[in-house]
Amino acid sequence: MIRQAHVVRPHCFDDYFLNLLKNIYINRNISVEEATRWISSPPTNTYFRVNTLVTTPSDVVSSINEQLLKLKRVKCDEDKPLIKIHKDLDDCIVISPLKQSLLDCNPKNEEIIVDIVTGQSVLRGSHVFAPGVMGMTPDIKIDSTISVYADLAKKCKRGYQKHYDNPLKMYVGNGIMKMDRKQLFGGDMNPKGIAVEVTDSISGIPGFTLPATDGLLQNFPSIVASYALDLNGNDNLKVLDMCAAPGNKTSHIATLMKNQGCIDAVDKSKTKLKKIHKKCEEFGLENVRVHHFDSLILVDVNKRNSSTNKPPFQSESFDRVLLDAPCSNLGQRPLLKIETNENLVKSFHVLQRKLFGNAVELLKPGGILVYSTCTITPEENEQNVAWALEKFAQLELVAINPVAGAPGLPNFGLSDMNCELVQRFGPDNVENDSIGFFIAKFRKK
């Protein structure tokens, strides 16, 4: 008998988070049920940011179209997802999902269990990689068609070899098994490679492959954040990316600067810095300096460092500063299970404000500071902006172009005019549906 798929329901989220959603979106006339459905589902579209140093957006569109036409289920152009260049961002490709009628989303008898992160990735168009597989029965063979379930309960132990019967497992799609149980759990604690080639995700997001040099999949608001720095037409800018890993925004900044000027990319995680180096090498970027350093101590307060090429940096050293701050990550989608609390959320804005103070100190007069987070809480967004405007008289909030998000939330410290200047991405961004995100742009007077 084919088992029925399990669906995400509000009980996958704790009471604190449900109340948080209610308070955030009450002024948007969005119910908790609507907000929950939004946060637990993947963005409608996929976004691919093109490396314009080596290729063109039109060439990338053609390449993706060619691949999608080879899908067996795509019989004609009408079946193919819409692939287009974004109307406001000319290096951003928008890929719509496949029609539900073209998908085989009927759960199969054979199934594997994956962790939550892997389940979320499948809903974003990814294959299942070996480290994400938690359990599978011994009789599943390579090249068999199987169903993929995400373990929302976090109860499946790695290597589990029976049918996993838990009400909090969520069906995310079907695929072709590419590794057997021995390869996944037969002594190798770090298996690598694609374990399941996903053919049908319930989200309908299609998979495709492009050379690493051509660009990368990137969340839409992250692309907007780089544009907010106003980089075009300035050849000799000095830019600071304070929390740079894994380097997606760093590579975009360098590309928008056309390999001119200089970007200092700083992160305290030595392991993550390898990703920045790799991305810069793949993209052919030559104007990025990568530093293993803590941005909490990034200002040379004692003026002991005579070098301008490495941290700590002297005050007012940069024309542009990007602070994509560490945050509670409550805007990431799809979120299939959330357990958080008020103390954890409030701990982030303390860190964010310390980093923000350093960003202001390092910015030249007349320079631009962009503050962004991938979360939805007012404490980390609107309230931080209100605090910054009160604390730093030399800062003014300025408009972000293009206008792609919704205004900021009222009643969290910002005037109506300032709410219009920031951009918040959430369930009310129907046209540019993406993750939950927030961007504010300041100019230092």
Which residues belong to the active site?
374
Sign, Cα dihedral of 17, 22, 25, 31: positive
Give the whole-angstrom CA distance, residue 273 versus residue 279: 10
Neighbouring residues of 91: CB distance < 8 A, sequence distance ≥ 6:
49, 50, 52, 57, 215, 223, 255
Structure-block tokens of residue 304:
């002991």
CA distance 391 to 369: 15
- DSSP secondary structure code for residue 407 in this structure: P
Looking up tokens 């021995």 gives 182
- Let me know if 143 is exposed, middle or buried by CB neighbors in 10 A (0-12, 13-18, 19+): exposed
In 99-217, alpha helices (H): 116-123, 181-185
Which tokens belong to 222?
């992250």
Give the number of other CB atoms < 10 A from CB of residue 183.
15
The Cα–Cα gap between 100 and 104 comes to 8
Three-state DSSP class for residue 369: strand
Residue found under tokens 């404000």: 353
Contacts of 327 (CB under 8 A, 6+ apart): 348, 352, 373, 374, 375, 380
- Give the amino acid at 267: D
- One-letter amino acid of 395: L
